[in-house]
């Protein structure tokens, strides 16, 4: 992620960042203009969903983009047949059906 220095408007680069919550991350940025040298912190926040997750976390409630065809999406989720697939990047406990009850809540 890149930002412009709020003082001199030169490019600023992230030096380190830490996850604060599931929805926020804090980064430390340094201005690339050595005559300025401003170092500053930035909080990045997840704002809204553009495309829904296939493996949503029930504790995350984000606004859904207005371009989403909600009624059609809901209809398809309720009526499309299952296709066998074995996830390779997530534990099986996180890959339940969208509306299935989580056996390991919290």
By the rule CB under 5 A, 36 interacts with Zn ion: yes
By the rule CB under 5 A, 62 interacts with Zn ion: no
> Which span sits near Zn ion by CB under 5 A: 32-40, 44-52, 58-66, 86-94?
32-40
Please state the closest distance from residue 51 (CB atom) to Zn ion, in A: 35
CA 21 centroid distance within chain: 11
By the rule CB under 5 A, 5 interacts with Zn ion: yes
Residue 12 · residue 1 · CB < 8 Å: no
Residue 30 · residue 3 · CB < 8 Å: no
Of positions 8, 28, 30, 64, contacts Zn ion by CB under 5 A: 8
- CA-wise closest residue to 50 among 71, 69, 64: 64
32/95 with CB nearer Zn ion? 32
Distance CA 85, CA 95 (A): 10
Binding site for Zn ion (CB under 5 A): 5, 7-8, 10, 31, 33, 36, 38
């Amino acid at each position: 992620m890149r930002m412009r220095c709020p003082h001199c408007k030169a490019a600023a680069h992230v030096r380190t960042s830490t996850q604060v919550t599931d929805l926020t991350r804090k980064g430390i940025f340094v201005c690339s203009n050595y005559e300025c040298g401003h170092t500053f912190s930035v909080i990045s926040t997840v704002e809204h969903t553009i495309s829904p997750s296939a493996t949503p976390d029930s504790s995350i409630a984000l606004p859904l983009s207005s371009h989403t065809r909600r009624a059609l999406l809901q209809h398809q989720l309720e009526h499309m047949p299952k296709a066998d697939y074995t996830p390779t990047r997530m534990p099986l406990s996180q890959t339940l059906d969208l509306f299935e009850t989580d056996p390991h809540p919290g």
